[in-house]
Amino acid sequence: METTRAGASLKSAGEQAAAALAAMPRRPEVIRCPICKRQCLSFEELSEHYAAEHPDSVAPTAVTLNVNGLNCSLIIEPHLTLKQVLQLHLGLTGAKEMCDRGACGSCTVIMDGNPALSCNILASECEGRSIETIEMVAVMPKWRPLIDEYCKWDAMQCGYCTPGYLMAAKALLDRNPSPTEYEIREALSGNICICGTQPRHSQAILEAVSRMAKGETINA
């Protein structure tokens, strides 16, 4: 049962995001063959198992991803997207999959400072890149006014696309802390909200910019 005490949810949401970050595995607890689930003791043993038992299949690869400032060593199938790895290997559900082809922006993360569509990027190509997800933004006091204003202005309805919009907004504010209304709309134009909240984001971001310019943070 989920219980929500009205008015206390910024804190509880931040705590849940922090818990998700803390639970990210830094290395695989158990190494299993993705095809037959056989347990292996090392990546090398898994590679040998593949060569012997699944010679027609593409073998998993070992990668180290820097996600939210933490290095996570993973063994993944090379066809997995960054979105799939964030969810299935790291337990982070903030990047959402909607269109599955880079048209909607719901899966937006920030990679090396730029917004990136995690459903269109192979995780195996992200080694050495810095990846930020919404869970990290959720726990940073600096960005609480942004989240708070999104919630105050209902810049969401069902909420599914909202983390993607927030990541696009965060990437904009990282490089331009005082955007104009048009610059905001332009920066968010790669995102789609099917509930039709498009006109509401600029208001929320402008209010947040105003608060952040005053150095305001929110005690969650």
Partner 1 sequence: MPDLIGANGQREDFRVVGKPNIPGLTSYAMATGVAKYGADFAVPGMLFAKILRSPYAHARVVKIDAADALAIPGVTDVVLWDDPIWSEIEFNPIGGRRPSYLPSEAHQEGAEVGAVVVAESEALCDEALEALKIEWEVLPFIIDLKKGLSSEVPPIRGPEWDESGTYAPPSVTSDGHTWMAVHYPDDPPKAGNVSVTTKSEGDLDAGWAQADMILEYNVNLHDVVSLLPNPQASVAWWTDNMYKPGKTLRIEGAVGRRGAIATMYRLPDDNVIQEGVFQGGKYCDWGLRMAQEITPLLARRTGRPVRCCNTREENFDLCVNIRLASVKLGVTSEGLITAVEDDSIIDHGTPNSSEMTTYDRDWNGYYTLKCENIRQIYSIVDSNRGFMHTCGQFVPYSWDMLTIGIYLIAERLGRDPVDIARLNLHGPDSQKDTRLVPSFEACVEEGQRLMNWDWHPAGGRRLPDGRLHGASFRYQMCPRHSFLKYFTKLEYRGGVVHFPTQGPIAGWFGTECFTMIAAEELGIDFEDICVDYDYRAEHTDEAGGSDGVTGHGWVVKECANILKKKILEAAAREAQETTSRFGPMEFPKPPSPLTGYTAEELDIMDGRVFVKADPEKFVPFAQATAETITADYGGHSPKSAWATGFGRKLDTMNTSWCEVAVDEETGEVEILKYLVVADVGKVIRRTSLESQIDQVVFFSQGCQLMEEYILDPETGVKLNGNMLDYRRPTTLDVPVVDKEILELRSGDGAYGASGIAHNLANSHLIVTAIHNAVGVWVDPPATPDRVLKALGKCEREGGNQ
* Residues 108-127 close enough to bind partner 1 by CB under 8 A: none
In whole angstroms, the minimum distance from the beta carbon of 52 to partner 1 comes to 12
Q: Does 102 bind partner 1 (CB under 8 A)?
A: yes
The one among 3, 52, 214, 215 contacting partner 1 by CB under 8 A:
3
Instruction: Give kind and range of the element (H or E) at residue 189.
Output: none
Q: Give residue 204's identity as a one-letter amino acid code.
A: A
In angstroms, the CA 146 to CA 218 distance is: 10
Nearer to partner 1, 101 or 128 (CB): 101
Q: What CA–CA distances, in Å, run from 80 to 24, 63, 77, 88, 167?
A: 18, 12, 6, 10, 22
Encode 120-154: b = buried (16+ Cβ within 10 Å), e = exposed: ebbbbebeeeebbbbbbbbbeeebbbbbbbbbebe
Stretch that binds partner 1, among 66-74, 92-100, 110-118, 172-180 (CB under 8 A): 92-100
Instruction: Give the range of 40-48, 61-69, 121-129, 130-138 binding partner 1 by CB under 8 A.
Output: 130-138
**Cβ atoms of residues 168 and 187 within 8 Å:** yes
Closest CA to 170 of 197, 151, 145: 145
Q: Does 138 bind partner 1 (CB under 8 A)?
A: yes
- Does the footprint of partner 1 cover residue 52 (CB under 8 A)? no
Q: How far is the CB of 24 from partner 1 (least distance, A)?
A: 14
Question: Coil, helix or strand for 27?
Answer: coil
Q: Does 13 bind partner 1 (CB under 8 A)?
A: yes
**Residue span binding partner 1 (CB under 8 A) among the ranges 65-73, 171-179, 190-198, 208-216:** 190-198
Stretch that binds partner 1, among 40-48, 65-73, 110-118, 155-163 (CB under 8 A): 155-163
